[in-house]
Amino acid sequence: MNLIIIFILLIIFLGSIFFIVRIAWLRFLGIYPLKGKECLENVKKLLIRNEYLLALKCYRDINKNLSLKQAREDILTIKANLTS
């Protein structure tokens, strides 16, 4: 039982590390904005690249007081406006 819990925690930890490294790599490539330089245009560019989760993270970095639900709804609205 303890081994299963440790394994699950390890998977969660490695997923978090992977996401952090991925963002650092995308910042290096110029795809994801530098910390503190996020803007709505970056969110739109990420949505065009079909990077929904990164666009959501970038949008929440811009609007720190939004809930996840509200940010998700806003991202879906922005995405719908891009496609129309």
pTM: 0.79
Tokens, residue 66: 């939004």
Domain span holding position 66:
2-83
Instruction: Give pLDDT, residue 43.
Output: 95
Cα 23 to Cα 10, 16, 69, 80, 82, distances in angstroms: 20, 11, 22, 25, 23
Number of domains in the chain: 1
Residue with tokens 């993270």: 57
- CB-based contact 22:28 (threshold 8 Å): no
Residue with tokens 């891009």: 82
Convert the pLDDT of each residue in 23-69 to its tens digit.
999 999 999 999 889 999 999 999 999 999 999 999 999 998 999 99
- pLDDT mean over 63-84: 91
Determine how many CB atoms are found less than 10 A away from the CB of residue 78: 15
pLDDT of residue 83: 81
For residue 45, what pLDDT is reported?
A: 94
Tell me the pLDDT band of 1, cut-offs 50, 70 and 90.
confident
For range 61-78, the mean pLDDT: 93
Give residue 84's pLDDT: 73
